[in-house]
A and B are shown apart, each in its own frame.
Chain A
Amino acid sequence: MKHRKYALVVVALCVFMVIAAFLPYISIPYRVADAETQFKQVYGTDYTNLDTAGMRPVPFSIYDSIFGIQIDESKFSVETNILYLNNGNDSFFFDWYKPAGEGPFPVIIAIHGGGWVIGNKGTGNVMPFNKYFASKGYVVFDLNYGLYDIDEAAEDMGAFGDAFKMIASLISPAYNQSYTIQQQLENIAYFTQVLEQNSTKYHADLNNVFIVGRSAGGHMASIVTLGYKNPLFAGNFSATMTIKGGIWFYPPTNLSKFAGAAFTDSLLTGTLPLAEQYKKFSASFLVGNSTVVPPIIIIHGKIDGLVNYESQALEFYNYATGLGKTCLLVTIPWGGHAFDINFQTYGGQMSTYFIERFMALELGG
């Protein structure tokens, strides 16, 4: 009798776990419908009449979540570790995902995340995403950039400090110098100048550039998207590049609302007083301050424990759309931070589905 009770408890627990595992999947149709509504509002018939042949046919496929998203590897090649900057202390590289053919191809500049203190291109920046879009005819540049010294930052990072230090030793490049956010952005901006000088060599169509970033990389992408024509960043970026869209995965859009003031204070040290630096490096300020605001798509997990969904994504979305800017927010149900690290999960699939439509629409269908 006692054993039967235990068995019942175990069975009840198992059933509960199975149901809990399926809960996110129940929310997917609702979130997909929400994103579809936004696309229809922004693009109208262009969206409904969009030629989606060759794109992912559905936002979520169970088959793909088991066996992986199909990527046609014959349609692109990859060249790794191409030097784009040596500042005397450190060298910075990028990986070039080149579609088959001569191009020029629309450009994706992919910026990795890692809290401005860790991370790397390649394995650290969702390679299947880069490969998928290279196979669809986008030339992808996955680059690394300077990082803030993890030993200095760990003290201010609280509970995350030790975990970040451990990850840093595994994936981050060993830099000799510590880089503030301003210097990190200057690295990325310099890459756009290098790209401008070598656009023919890299088959890059600089009239059609998309900036993709995740987490801290999403923050960097937001500053590039909104700042590349802003006088605050005059002289930093390529003058001929036209950004067609910003694709920001779980980005901090307002650094003053970001947890850990001591941490961000030291990261934001720069040429302006600290309060001004906070503004200069927050998308929530730049969106109202820049004359050129390319269309933006934000993809954010609803239960992100690191970059809060409500205060960073939803508030920005409401503010930007209130200003009349083109901004889309794709909410990933039950999605935490870095939900797309495992690319074939529903978060990775949903985001890919909407991003490829967003880019196609911005490129004129």
Chain B
Amino acid sequence: MGTLEILKSKNFFQKYLLITLISLVLALFFNAMGVVRIFLITRIAGILAVIAFALLLGQILLIFAKANRTDILGRKILQLNYITIIIICNCFVYLVIAGLLNSFYLDPASSPIYGQLLAMCMFTISLCFGIGLSLTSYFFLSIESAWDF
């Protein structure tokens, strides 16, 4: 139970937000750099993407648990949380569509560039919304009424 109490503390939340933010920014950077297709960079980019989205999922759940619904700023943060979830879910659907576009372009002589472009856009958008959510939560953490600690 002691561990759970630590997880609910403001100190832990602050550190968690910071780690999520850093991993999301790194994931964005390395995935953009991955275009050059250097094996090590793509390897790091892939691992960072998984870590960043796992942390983002935890962050979304933490914000649900800790944002103060009776406060106007708390409600705004919750709204941003919902928007981030919707955007990420949509982006993931488009990522699957992009994968299919890569496989099913109509003419064998044409290039699957549109599928790859779509994937890059959707991935970047979802990471950017995650970064936005982390940043907002981190900077508004000092406003005590917005949180339920």
Q: Chain A interface (Cβ within 8 Å of chain B)? A: 7, 11, 18, 57-58, 61-68, 70-71, 73, 77-80, 95, 97, 122-123, 126-128, 130-131, 142, 341-345
Q: Are B108 and A127 in contact (CB under 8 A)?
A: yes
In the assembled complex, which residues on chain A have CB atoms less than 8 Å from the CB atom of B98?
68
Q: Are B47 and A342 in contact (CB under 8 A)?
A: no
Q: Are A67 and B116 in contact (CB under 8 A)?
A: yes
Contact for A127 among B34, B64, B99, B105, CB less than 8 A: B105
Of B3-11, B35-43, B131-139, B140-148, the segment with at least 4 beta carbons within 8 Å of chain A is: B35-43
Known: A68-B112, A68-B116. A128 touches B45 (CB 8 A): no
Contact for B34 among A63, A128, A130, A342, CB less than 8 A: A63
In the assembled complex, which residues on chain B have CB atoms less than 8 Å from the CB atom of A62?
45-47, 49-50
CA distance A127 to B104 in the complex (A): 7
Contact for B49 among A66, A79, A127, A142, CB less than 8 A: A66
Q: Which of B104-140 contact A (CB under 8 A)?
A: 104-109, 111-112, 115-116, 119-120, 123
In the assembled complex, which residues on chain B have CB atoms less than 8 Å from the CB atom of A130?
108
Q: Which of B12-51 contact A (CB under 8 A)?
A: 31, 34, 37, 39, 42-43, 45-47, 49-50
In the assembled complex, which residues on chain B have CB atoms less than 8 Å from the CB atom of A97?
108
Name 17 A/B residue pairs within 8 A (Cβ), A-sorted: A11-B61, A18-B57, A58-B43, A61-B46, A66-B31, A67-B120, A68-B98, A68-B116, A68-B119, A70-B37, A77-B109, A122-B108, A123-B104, A123-B106, A128-B102, A342-B96, A344-B99
Question: What is the minimal beta-carbon distance from B67 to any residue of chain A, in angstroms?
Answer: 12
In the assembled complex, which residues on chain B have CB atoms less than 8 Å from the CB atom of A68?
98-99, 102, 112, 115-116, 119
Known: A67-B34, A68-B112. A128 touches B103 (CB 8 A): yes
Q: Are B119 and A67 in contact (CB under 8 A)?
A: yes
Known: A122-B107, A123-B106. 16 other contacts (CB 8 A): A11-B61, A62-B49, A62-B50, A63-B31, A63-B49, A65-B46, A67-B119, A67-B120, A68-B99, A73-B111, A123-B105, A127-B103, A128-B102, A341-B103, A342-B102, A343-B103
CB closest chain-A residue, reference B53: A18
B86: interface (CB < 8 Å): no
CA distance A80 to B105 in the complex (A): 14
Question: Interface size class for chain B?
Answer: 20 to 34
B95: interface (CB < 8 Å): yes
Question: What is the minimal beta-carbon distance from B86 to any residue of chain A, in angstroms?
Answer: 13
B72: interface (CB < 8 Å): no
In the assembled complex, which residues on chain B have CB atoms less than 8 Å from the CB atom of A128?
102-103, 112
B83: interface (CB < 8 Å): no
B93: interface (CB < 8 Å): no
CA distance A11 to B96 in the complex (A): 23
CB closest chain-B residue, reference A125: B108
Known: A11-B64, A61-B46. A66 touches B123 (CB 8 A): yes
CA distance A67 to B102 in the complex (A): 9
CA distance A18 to B53 in the complex (A): 11
List 9 tightest A-B contacts by C-beta distance, closest first.
A62-B46, A63-B42, A63-B46, A78-B109, A68-B102, A78-B108, A343-B103, A342-B99, A63-B45
CA distance A78 to B111 in the complex (A): 11
In the assembled complex, which residues on chain B have CB atoms less than 8 Å from the CB atom of A70?
37
Q: Are B45 and A142 in contact (CB under 8 A)?
A: no
Contact for A342 among B31, B45, B100, B107, CB less than 8 A: B100
CA distance A331 to B61 in the complex (A): 36
CB closest chain-B residue, reference A130: B108
In the assembled complex, which residues on chain A have CB atoms less than 8 Å from the CB atom of B49?
62-63, 66
CA distance A26 to B107 in the complex (A): 35
